[in-house]
Homo-oligomer: A and B are copies of this chain.
């Protein structure tokens, strides 16, 4: 029995704690990641195929036209995207993959790969997210206001995901994400009886 890997997509609003939670998840479970493609210029020390796949605007748009991305978006005049081919190849090899992407990108993945398992990491409450973003103290009031406005919209999209993990405490959220990964491996559609 050759088992296909599972594609996990984790998203959530800015400030919810995705990075902290997923770093701990990776410490406890082997998960492959994908290298994004971008049209922005490489920064000092960045290597093609390691930090990013660096593409020209034309190459990127060609790849979009061919359906070569699981998701893509434009930020500050540059394209960013998740190339489909390396992900599909690793899944075929039986490797589980974890994509950490922003909410709109995660919505696109569902259309392109309906069998992806999509997890939305949510704050305990909107007030709590506000507190966390303000508490960072690294941004001005206007930047925080914009992030909160985006977050408010993103939270309305949460019910469209497969799972909602509320980040009450990091340990609970990590435990929930790991449980989801273990449970999904038991899905009848993915299990074959000898």
Interface residues of A (CB under 8 A from B): 119-120, 122, 124-126, 155, 158-166, 175-176, 178-180, 182-184, 186-189, 191, 193-194
Contacts and interface: CB of A to CB of B under 8 A. Distances in A.
Number of this chain's copies in the assembly equals 2
Nearest to A159: B188
Given A120-B188, A188-B158, A164 B182 contact: no
Contacts of A163: 183, 186-188, 191
A162 to B, nearest CB: 6
Given A183-B180, A193-B122, A188 B162 contact: yes
Nearest to A160: B188
- The 3 lowest CB-CB distance pairs between A and B, nearest first, are A183-B183, A179-B182, A164-B191
Contacts of A179: 178-180, 182-183, 186
Contacts of A161: 188
Given A159-B188, A163-B191, A176-B183, 14 more contacts: A125-B194, A158-B191, A161-B188, A162-B187, A162-B188, A163-B186, A163-B188, A164-B186, A165-B186, A166-B191, A179-B182, A180-B182, A182-B183, A183-B184
